[in-house]
Structure 1
Amino acid sequence: MPEPTADFTATLRTALAGADTADARALWRALGAGGVLVALCPDGGTQPDPRRLATLLTELDARCPLGVALSICVQVATVLPLLSEPATGPVAGPVAETVADLVRGETTVALAVTDAGASGSDLLDATTRAKLGDDAVTLDGRKEWITNATTCDAALVLARHREPRHFTSFCWLLVPRSAPGVTVEPAGRAFAGSGVGHLRFDGVALEPNALVGRPGRALAGFARQVGVERLAGALWSRAICRRLMTGLGDWLRARPAADGTLWDHPAVRERYARCLVALRQLDALCAPLLDGPPGPPSTATGMVLKVAAAETVETIAAEAVHLRGADAFRDGGEAALRTEAAMFGIAGGATGTMLAGLADHADDLLGSRP
């Protein structure tokens, strides 16, 4: 299995050198032009190599605002594979052109899944609808809290094309942001650089070749690919936690206290050590997947990663805020990061939803019974 060789790391760092790491589109162009996006998927595949993905996310976390890293993560872990995966059907026309432009860094695509008409992760209740005709496709609806919405060139939109509440009732559409009837509304100042916003589609007329893959297979394909998104989230949260722990340890060793430094207090070291244990547990969950082939982990494994990532980030960020006190509330401090990192417990399925679903996989996770 391909490893994240020194060549890949060197290629990545060369591409990042001199790039504007606060501008997601500029950074995406740099990654494409530098060959990083092609190298991320070995041997011409469509799925990112786990170790290379971990290397990319670690480098981005060290250099970029969280929102910029989010913009890149969604595209490499979900958008590119969904658009280029042969299992979704023939890749041709505007879809093939978009894939080629994406890997060159010349275009950005938003993943428009979260629906204004559905509650949280309940995609079966989505009300964004596509009317499929022989000569045209018409799209109506609204997608909310979409990463890259305000900065994208196009959106990959999950839409209902049949009325029954069933996983076969959905299709993917590639919708140019400039198409008549598409409007974009920013979603506030959170996640600076991510382009988060709301997309509205009012009678948007598209050519039939805007369909990505076969109607009826979209939700099943997304359910499979979301496992890679959850792995990416775990790898990224691991990088965030390691950075937090390193910075916190340095700060504790340098912070004067009555009889030395804060690090000299056993109670402080105990709290720090508990965070180390949490991080090592997340490392252990990720390790087998880093040594495996590219592609989605099992459904249950993806859900475990999702919950573990969210809880580990919250545990460590909360402890960093507690131990650093007022210093954590300075611009760019741990308090702000903790607020934004709460997305790990929401995006891609809320933690509570994941836990409820994991209960259904109890026998698989516990192993065979004697």
Structure 2
Amino acid sequence: MSERHPLRSDPLDDRFRTALTQALAHVTAESDARNVWQALGDSGVLRALYQDADTADASVDVARLEALLHAVDALGNNGLTLTVLVQAASALPLLSAGTTAATRALRERALDGRATVALAATDSAAPGSDLTALGTEVRWDKRTPHLSGGKRWVTGAHSADHLLVLARHRPGRHFTSFTWVLVPALADGVRIEPVDTGGLLGSADLGHVHLDDVRLSEDHLVGRPGWAMASFAQHMATERLAGAQWAVALLRRILSATRRHLVSRAVGEATLWHNPAIRQDFAGCLVKTEQLRALVETTVRAADGPPDMNTAALLKAAAGQITDDVLSRCAQLQGADGMTTGGAHHVRAEAAVLGLGGGATELMLAHVADTAETLLDDPLPVP
């Protein structure tokens, strides 16, 4: 049996929180994504985040993931939080399936914070919700894989050392037609186009990736060909849970800022906070946020790990709806101040990613409707 990492005695133990605090002590909202990732690796946080971190069976400790996302969100830079979330919840667990020398070496460097990996799934040839229609393909010339196609809205594209690309290795929509390919960001044939988001999520380093006959070695294939969609579905549930965890942290942060605004804004001899209608609006936002928090915590405790796909869809739908509702009301309560950078209007626009990335809210609601009977017959137990 391998020696346990010194930080992994308890999902929420003091050692992990201490390491997390130390990791972010010298990080600010102006830090770039690579520096944040390196700080987390240097402090041992990234290795402590996973069970069996050094093996192909690596899985995220979801309780620690929540602590990580809350700590990074406290920096107040949503782009940074997004890059950490995607790498920690999806990219690294997916990379762990790789057994070649190249994939193992990159995994070790990534866990140490010395390398970053961008997840490139959404395809240029198909809507993000229809991955089986993707056009990016890997073909073989003797034993040399050639990769061609394009990926859109890749988080961390401009700061990543490698791209983890979802590609098809044979025609058709069957889920066994796809594989993961590890692509060095500086490889010949790779071009990364910046995305103009109008200043939103700037630190997320979003980019569109163009792949023009990128030649690689078989060492860069991740996992068994044909297993990509199955592994993606498994880890997508974790990413959807992570999105809900982040939503709770973000909403509580903005609610705190909104309350400070209301308490400090004088109206006659009182403040906005003393207006009963405003207090009721604020309380309604807080109730919705606490409902989402309770759903997340119940899910984590009931599943004792990542949720199944049905529960993950429920979580993501709830997070998308509640986040937009609460931030919309906070923006109104903040008045003109909500229009500033970091104000509720700005944050609401950035937080729209919670209702888009990893599956749009409408698609999640459709999934919830399809599984309504199962959810009603087998509700989450109260922990």
Same fold (TM over 0.5): yes
AA paired with 2:91? V
User: What is the correspondence of 1:21-170 to structure 2 with a 5 Å cutoff?
Assistant: 21=29, 22-42=31-51, 44=53, 46-85=58-97, 91-170=99-178
Q: Give CA deviations for 1:282-316 in whole Å, capped at 9, x if unaligned.
A: 01211123335664311111001111111111111
Equivalent in the alignment of 1:179: 187
Post-superposition offset of 1:20: 4.9
Unpaired runs of at least 5, structure 1: none
Say whether the 8 Å CA contact 1:50–1:289 is kept in structure 2: no
Unpaired runs of at least 5, structure 2: 1-8
AA paired with 1:322? Q
AA paired with 2:144? A
**Cα distance in 1 between the residues matched to 2:270 and 2:185:** 59
Say whether the 8 Å CA contact 2:101–2:219 is kept in structure 1: yes
Equivalent in the alignment of 1:300: 310
Say whether the 8 Å CA contact 2:300–2:307 is kept in structure 1: no
**Cα distance in 2 between the residues matched to 1:281 and 1:133:** 54
**Cα distance in 2 between the residues matched to 1:368 and 1:159:** 36
With 311-320 and 35-44 compared, the bigger mean Cα shift is at 35-44
Say whether the 8 Å CA contact 2:51–2:60 is kept in structure 1: yes
Post-superposition offset of 1:134: 4.7
AA paired with 2:79? G
How many residues are matched? 365
Aligned match for 1:360, one of 358, 367, 370? 370
AA paired with 1:30? A
With 15-24 and 30-39 compared, the bigger mean Cα shift is at 15-24
Say whether the 8 Å CA contact 1:230–1:348 is kept in structure 2: yes
Structure 1 residue runs of 4 or more that deviate by more than 3 Å after TM superposition: 42-45, 292-295
Say whether the 8 Å CA contact 1:78–1:228 is kept in structure 2: yes
AA paired with 1:81? P
Alpha-carbon RMSD across the aligned residues, in angstroms, is 1.7
**Cα distance in 2 between the residues matched to 1:41 and 1:125:** 32
**2:247 pairs with 1:237:** yes
Q: Give CA deviations for 1:81-118 in whole Å, capped at 9, x if unaligned.
A: 11114xxxx62310000100000101101000000100
- Secondary structure at the aligned position of 1:168 is classed as helix
**Cα distance in 2 between the residues matched to 1:259 and 1:325:** 19
Equivalent in the alignment of 2:6: none
Say whether the 8 Å CA contact 2:100–2:220 is kept in structure 1: no
Post-superposition offset of 1:64: 4.3
Aligned match for 1:263, one of 249, 267, 273? 273
**Cα distance in 2 between the residues matched to 1:293 and 1:103:** 26
Q: Give CA deviations for 1:208-242 in whole Å, capped at 9, x if unaligned.
A: 11110011110111011100000110000100011
**2:243 pairs with 1:228:** no
Q: Give CA deviations for 1:226-283 in whole Å, capped at 9, x if unaligned.
A: 0000011000010001111112122212221235111211111111111111111101
- Secondary structure at the aligned position of 2:202 is classed as coil
Aligned match for 2:10, one of 2, 12, 26? 2
Q: What TM-score do you get using the length of structure 2 for normalisation?
A: 0.92
Equivalent in the alignment of 2:289: 279
